[in-house]
Amino acid sequence: MVLNYMNKYIEEIEKCIECKICDDVCPTYLATNNELEIPRNRLKIAVKIFNEEKISDAEYKSIYSCTKCEMCDLNCSSEISISKIIGKARESLFSQGYELLPGHKNLRDGILKRKNSTKGDPKHLLDYLPDNFEYDKDSTTLYYAGCLSGYFLKSISTTSVRILNKIGTSFKVMKDEICCGSPLVDLGDIESAKRFFKENLEIFEKNNVKELIVSCSGCYRSFVEFYPEIIGKTIPITHIVDIIADAIKQNKIQFKKTDKKVIYHDPCHLGREFQIYDSPRQILEAATKNLVEFEKHHDDATCCGADSTARAGSKDMAVKVALKRVDKAVEKADILVTACPFCVFNLNYARRKNDRNIKVQYITEFLNDLLD
């Protein structure tokens, strides 16, 4: 049975004029040459899914290997919301009872069991705090570390809170933090996501939290886009790059300028989606004499390959996409800086596994070395 809202998406897909422009912009297809990953072909698979026709394992995988980078949306001649439709196809697959890919099952099970996406032990979340770190326990602003930077890439959170303190921002941290729920949306499990959204907002209310500061672009997207869309409410949120850029303008923080060549990678969920392009560049201009750009940057920036749970399901694809981005950076720079923990993780993994000579850092890790 095709639900009404699915019909809406089928009608939108029918606007495709097969111009093939999307073939040339999809990072996953360009990295793998798998024709099922061409955006217009993913749309054809989505139609089958909405009509509840059987799809092959390879077709299933191509729906989940999309990073929802929105590059196809931006370039589509018929202005089809391709990435959104792919997300709806995942919802449909999940509700039809298709079994998740092993990496995705593992991810979902971990989130449902431990309430974070990295299998971290909640008792150790605040281990990221620097020694003898003091924060304002009465603040109504929470530094929300997020799963990846809270449990796994801890130096992102360590350097983030250190810089917030240096600026003089009032904030607190919280051991009761749980996953924002965005991976569940990306897996198509909307009912579980709703439970996490509601629980998060209840925890914030109980702890007198009125606004968030985040380092993670995935968490940012979740609170700005998914919460209002799915449960009709959210909490005010600021990405840390906007706070640091403001502080630089107000002379609240200074950095030594490095001579190294630094290149900035725009995370899809900060750049194309929310147009946060200026703040990271203003920050980097204050901390390097040599800021360079990728050939493809701002709206044209290529995805790192990890987003929207794509890496958890299709690691080889994700690493191939990342390596292409790393190789472009190596041509121009000594340090590759970005503002999303997932980008840091995947780009750094591709660099390390392939012996590329470049440092990959989250923006606060980079700044921490240059604090005046």
Under the binding rule (CB under 6 A), the answer on residue 149 touching ligand SF4 is no
Q: How many angstroms separate the CA atoms of 39 and 59, rounded?
A: 12
Q: Is 130 left (phi over 0), alpha (psi -120 to 50) or beta?
A: beta
| Residue whose CB is less far from ligand SF4, 28 or 348 | 28
Part in contact with ligand SF4 (CB under 6 A); list of ranges 81-89, 103-111, 112-120, 170-178: 81-89
| Contact string 91-120 vs ligand SF4 (x = CB under 6 A) | ------------------------------
Out of 41, 67, 149, 159, name the contact with ligand SF4 by CB under 6 A: 67
| Residue whose CB is less far from ligand SF4, 76 or 333 | 76
Under the binding rule (CB under 6 A), the answer on residue 76 touching ligand SF4 is yes
Out of 55, 82, 179, 339, name the contact with ligand SF4 by CB under 6 A: 82
Cα→Cα distances 353→11, 210, 289, 309, 357, Å: 44, 42, 30, 20, 11
237 in helix, strand or coil?
strand
Contacts of 186 (CB under 8 A, 6+ apart): 68, 87, 90, 308, 309
Tell me the β-bridge partners of 212: 142, 237
Under the binding rule (CB under 6 A), the answer on residue 22 touching ligand SF4 is yes
Residue 268 main-chain phi, psi, to 5 deg = -55, -45
Chain centre distance of CA 117: 13
Out of 10, 47, 59, 78, name the contact with ligand SF4 by CB under 6 A: 78
Minimum Å gap between C-beta 30 and ligand SF4 is 9
Under the binding rule (CB under 6 A), the answer on residue 20 touching ligand SF4 is yes
Rg, the chain, Cα only: 20
Residues forming contacts to ligand SF4 in the complex (CB under 6 A) are 16-22, 25-28, 39-40, 42-43, 66-72, 76-78, 80, 82-83, 86
